Amino acid sequence: MSGANGVDHLTDRHPKVTPERLVEALVPPPTFADVSFDSYRPDPAEPTQTAAVSSCRAFCDEAVQRRAGKKKLFGKREVLPGVGLYLDGGFGVGKTHLLASTYYTLAGANAGPAAFATFGELTQLAGVFGFVECIDLLADYVVVCIDEFELDDPGNTTLISRLLSALVERGVSIAATSNTLPEQLGEGRFAAQDFLREINTLAAIFTTVRIEGPDYRHRDLPPAPVPPSDDEVRAEAADRAGATLDDFDALCAHLATMHPSRYQALIDGVTEVFITGVHRLDDQSVALRLVALTDRLYDAGIPVVASGAKLDTVFGEEMLAGGFRKKYLRATSRLLALTAAGGH
């Protein structure tokens, strides 16, 4: 739906998401549609990145063997438990690239279907289908890849841990990523210890692979630029086919009207997102919804152009000091990359 100026608004969209779409969406995001282990470019100064590729390839080989099972008498096969891989590292070291490459390698191995989801998407899948039904849905998969495993919601962490335990028993292998905060790099696998403690029923199956290095999104990026004016944003949006234009507060209010699982459908077909009146957020719920939208925009590679406050100031110091710090730092990193993609 277009506004008076002929530009579409995200606030006019009210998407619906079917269970079938949730299953169809169990693939890597568009920005990782063509990746492979061969296309991963390790930083020569970070040997852990090269080692991580080898670990991922070995995991794929083991996952295929586990899915095939072990021959028993009379030609029958006994299902072997799946294996686990946990990629532990900071922001922008290529963990998602390696996870998506793992997905594509196993999806093409004829060992069974493969699934790729964020932690939030997997939680939503279990909520829509039910716990037992979700296990049945994924039981024949060779691997479930989970990007950005979250440990800040004990209830969801317990739910997913139980789900994964049941899948591993049925021969499904699990690959996961999460983030270590930049200042915790070198502190002895802090994030890995958190992860293994929270999924204690699964910890024994996981091989932890540490990936060091700076955020590649920032290697050639200057600091957050001075934002354009509201009028400049409106004028530019009017010139871009497929663009949307929204007021920041109105967009944040609209996000509250739907579950984050709908955010991907919200931006279907959008080529560029323009936002006016950005300011620092003080409400945690609003901020977390913006994080979820940012993740979907980043996955889809949709550039962002915004006026108002600089995008690296949206999440205040108080929020960055809290329990969702990792999410806010990741979202800031991605917003800056999307702003650069938008030419600002």
What is the pLDDT, as a whole number, of residue 181? 47
Same domain, 210 and 232: no
What is the pLDDT, as a whole number, of residue 324? 81
Domain boundary among 193, 217, 241: 217
Confirm whether 5 is domain-assigned.
Answer: no
Same domain, 173 and 240: no
Does residue 3 surpass a pLDDT of 60?
no
Q: List beta partners, residue 177.
A: 87
What is the pLDDT, as a whole number, of residue 4? 47
For residue range 118-143, list pLDDT tens digits in order.
888 888 888 888 899 999 999 999 99
Same domain, 62 and 82: yes
Does residue 310 surpass a pLDDT of 90?
yes
Confirm whether 263 is domain-assigned.
Answer: yes
Confirm whether 27 is domain-assigned.
Answer: no
Beta-strand runs (E) in the chain: 70-71, 77-78, 84-89, 114-118, 143-147, 173-179, 206-211, 243-247, 272-278, 304-308
Confirm whether 24 is domain-assigned.
Answer: no
Same domain, 59 and 45: yes
The string of DSSP letters for 243-271 reads EEEEEHHHHHHHHTTS-GGGHHHHTTT--
Which CATH number is 106's domain given? 3.40.50.300
For the stretch 159-177, what's the b/e string if a residue is b when 16 or more beta carbons lie within 10 angstroms of its beta carbon? Answer: bbbbbbbbbbebbbbbbbb
What is the pLDDT, as a whole number, of residue 140? 93
Same domain, 213 and 277: no
Domain boundary among 217, 236, 263: 217
Domain boundary among 217, 242, 257: 217
Give me the number of domains the chain comprises.
2
pTM attached to this predicted model = 0.75
Does residue 218 surpass a pLDDT of 80?
no
Which residue has better confidence, 194 or 58?
58
CB 273 within 8 A of CB 303: yes
Same domain, 209 and 226: no
Confirm whether 227 is domain-assigned.
Answer: yes
Residue 266 lies in domain = 10-17+221-341
Does residue 187 surpass a pLDDT of 50?
no
Confirm whether 4 is domain-assigned.
Answer: no
User: What's the N-to-C CA distance of the chain in angstroms?
Assistant: 27
Cα–Cα distance measured from residue 73 to residue 153, given in angstroms and rounded to the nearest whole number:
45
Same domain, 226 and 177: no
Cα–Cα distance measured from residue 109 to residue 283, given in angstroms and rounded to the nearest whole number:
46
3-state secondary structure of 296: helix
**Dihedral sign computed on CA atoms, order 249, 254, 259, 263:** negative
What is the pLDDT, as a whole number, of residue 92? 77
Give percent of the chain with pLDDT exceeding 90. 51
Same domain, 328 and 231: yes
What is the pLDDT, as a whole number, of residue 16? 84
Q: Which two tokens stand for residue 136?
A: 């049945």
What is the pLDDT, as a whole number, of residue 73? 55
3-state secondary structure of 121: helix
Same domain, 68 and 165: yes
Does residue 115 surpass a pLDDT of 70?
yes
Same domain, 184 and 50: yes
Q: How many CA atoms lie within 13 A of 126 on its CB side?
A: 21
Same domain, 225 and 337: yes
For residue range 245-282, list pLDDT tens digits in order.
999 999 999 999 998 878 989 999 999 999 999 999 98
